[in-house]
Chain A
Amino acid sequence: MAEIIRLEKLTKIFQDKRNTTVAIKDIDLVIEQGDIYGIIGLSGAGKSTLIRCINLLEKPTSGAVFFEGTNLVELKDSQLRQTRQKIGMIFQNFNLMEQRTVLRNVLFPLEIAHIAKDTAKERAVELLNLVGLSDKLDSYPSQLSGGQKQRVAIARALANNPSVLLCDEATSALDPSTTLSILQLLKEINQKLGITIVIITHEMKVVETICNKVAIIDESVIKETGLVAEVFANPQTPIAKNLIYPKLGVINKEFGSVLLKLTFDKTVLEPVVADMILKTQVAVNIIEASIKQGDNGSTGEMIIQLPNDQNSIAKVQNYLTTKNISFQQSNTEVQQ
Chain B
Amino acid sequence: MISLISATFPFTYYLEQTLITLKIVGISTLLSYVLGIPLGILLNVTDKNGLYKCRPVNAILGAIINILRSAPFIILLVTLLPAIRKLVGTSVGDVPFTVGLVIAATPFVARMVESSLKEIDYGVVEASLAMGASKMRTIFTVILPEIRSSLIVGATISFATILGYTAMAGTIGAEGLGNTAYTYGYISSNPEVTIICLVLLIVIVQIFQEVGMRIAKKLDHRKKGE
Contact = CB atoms under 8 A, between A and B. Distances in A.
Interface residue SS majority, chain B: helix
Interface residues of B, number: 24
Interface stretch (A27-35, A79-87, A190-198, A250-258): A79-87
A142 interface: yes
A160 B133 CA distance: 12
Contacts of A82: 132
Contacts of B128: 108
Interface string B131-147: 11110010001100110
Given A95-B121, A95-B127, A81 B134 contact: yes
Interface in B1-41: none
A89 B127 contact: yes
Interface string B184-226: 0000000000000000000000000000000000011111100
B130 A143 contact: no
Contacts of A77: 134
Interface string A43-80: 00000000000010100000000000000000001000
Contact of B131 (A85, A100, A140): A85
B124 interface: yes
Nearest to A87: B130
A273 interface: no
Interface string A134-158: 0000001111000000000100110
A113 B134 CA distance: 11
Interface residues of A, number: 31
A95 B130 CA distance: 11
Interface string B105-149: 000000000000000010110111111111001000110011010
Contacts of A96: 124, 127
Contact of B141 (A84, A93, A98, A111): A111
Contacts of B121: 93, 95
Contacts of A142: 221-224
Given A140-B221, A142-B221, A142-B222, 17 more contacts: A55-B130, A57-B126, A81-B134, A82-B132, A85-B131, A87-B130, A89-B130, A89-B131, A93-B121, A96-B124, A97-B142, A99-B219, A99-B221, A99-B222, A109-B132, A153-B127, A157-B131
Closest 9 CB pairs of A and B: A95-B127, A84-B132, A140-B221, A95-B123, A85-B132, A89-B130, A81-B132, A109-B131, A98-B222
16 contacts: A55-B130, A77-B134, A81-B133, A85-B132, A87-B130, A91-B123, A91-B127, A98-B146, A98-B221, A98-B222, A100-B145, A108-B128, A108-B133, A112-B133, A142-B223, A160-B132
